[in-house]
Amino acid sequence: MRILAFGTYNTAVHPRVGILVEGLRDAGHTVSELNEPLRVSTENRVAALSSPSAALSFFGSLAANWSRLVSGSFSYRGTSKPDAIVVGYLGHFDVLLARLLFPRATIILDHLIYASDTAADRGAKGGLLRRVLTGLDRLALSAATIVVYDTPAHAALAPASLRHKGVVVPVGAPDEWFDARETNPVNGVVFYGLYTPLQGSPTIARALRILADRGDLPPVTMIGTGQDYDEVRRLAGDAEVTWVDWVDPADLPAVVAHHSIGLGIVGTTEKAQRVVPNKVYQSMAAGCAIITSDTVPQREVLGDAATYVPAGDAEALADAIRDLIGDPERRQAMRARAAELADHAFTHQAVVAPLVERLS
């Protein structure tokens, strides 16, 4: 098939669509890209629906990018028209433009998040906003022919009348995460993220404080900033942690792979119970032993290749970190299980298989 990856996605920040593109190419399809990256955070996208000034900024940027997408679309007409369009992650608006520009094409929407679900997870208030975002989610799903979800739990959130469009494709990890894997990393712990409620970073901070008070704190690197960052710093106090506000995406795989243990998520929000986060796939590809929350989606995907703790339980997380740090044989076994699972199931060739089957 001739497939066009389309939209304002930004693979430097959200690499998911790049994984789909490479997987589809390896499956024998011809994939081109028409992409004008929109450099607007998820928080600002949500804010655009509740703040006039934020809306003006967001839709102004979107309009400029869309004008270039419309111009570029003329190269994909007539004999060059694509058989299918892949609309990249955070494509709630882009899928509407894709449907207008390519009304007869098969349109694949990579729908990893629901706008309403994400707004609730990040503290957005107001029933009207939730209703608007729910309407946006439904409109986006209606415009697509095939809707790609990352877990069955996310697929189940779709309206019953639209569930037949869904196909579950795990997030996976880009090649550079596999390439970064080290044989003998530092015996330390790494976390990276946007400090959103889903991630449960305050619970991580409490666990680090517990370990510090016990005298059991290993080398720990905390990467990123965000919504809960100030609370995390307060809770961790003077614990000897390396705080890094920003790592360039190109450098992040090597930084993570230099640690033996990677932390997933331990949040208690509803959304946290439905996801397997990027950082878990990526850290396992990089060869880290993983500690993450004990949720159904993560158990289903990770099996015995991860160490699980109850969501929100700082004591259990502290114990899990202490036990893995102090047991070299078990730590190495968990690293090996993580790497084996990633090599088998998280490459772009592996994760895209359900989508390839649906297209055929």
Structure tokens at 265: 């998520």
| pLDDT given at position 46 | 63
Residue position matching structure tokens 């992650």: 89
| pLDDT given at position 16 | 93
- The per-residue pLDDT of the chain, averaged, comes to 93
b/e sequence 122-146, b meaning 16+ C-beta within 10 Å: bebeeeebbebbbebbbebbebbeb
- Alpha-carbon gap, residue 58 to 39, rounded angstroms: 10
| pLDDT given at position 241 | 98
pTM attached to this predicted model? 0.91
> Is 189 buried (19+), middle (13-18) or exposed (0-12) by CB count in 10 A?
buried
Q: Which residues contact 252 (CB under 8 A, 6 or more apart)?
A: 192, 223
Instruction: Find the largest Cα–Cα distance for the chain.
Output: 69
Counting DSSP H helices and E strands in the chain, the numbers are: 17, 12
Give the containing element (helix H, strand E) for 186.
strand 186-192
Q: Is 303 left (phi over 0), alpha (psi -120 to 50) or beta?
A: left
| pLDDT given at position 132 | 81
| pLDDT given at position 128 | 73
| pLDDT given at position 40 | 76
Q: Which residues contact 55 (CB under 8 A, 6 or more apart)?
A: 48, 49
Give the containing element (helix H, strand E) for 337.
helix 328-345
| Tens digit of each residue's pLDDT, the chain (360 residues) | 999 999 999 998 889 999 999 999 999 999 999 999 998 776 676 666 556 677 788 889 999 999 999 999 999 999 999 999 999 988 999 999 999 999 999 999 999 888 777 766 666 666 777 788 889 899 999 999 999 999 999 999 999 999 999 999 999 999 999 999 999 999 999 999 999 999 999 999 999 999 999 999 999 999 999 999 999 999 999 999 999 999 999 999 999 999 999 999 999 999 999 999 999 999 999 999 999 999 999 999 999 999 999 999 999 999 999 999 999 999 999 999 999 999 999 999 999 999 999 998
Instruction: Check: CB of residue 12 under 8 Å from CB of residue 93.
Output: no
- Alpha-carbon gap, residue 88 to 85, rounded angstroms: 9
pLDDT tens digits, one per residue of 256-271? 999 999 999 999 999 9
Domains of the chain from N-terminus onward: 2-169 (3.40.50.2000), 175-345 (3.40.50.2000)
Instruction: Check: CB of residue 114 under 8 Å from CB of residue 34.
Output: no
| pLDDT given at position 115 | 78
pLDDT tens digits, one per residue of 297-327? 999 999 999 999 999 999 999 999 999 999 9
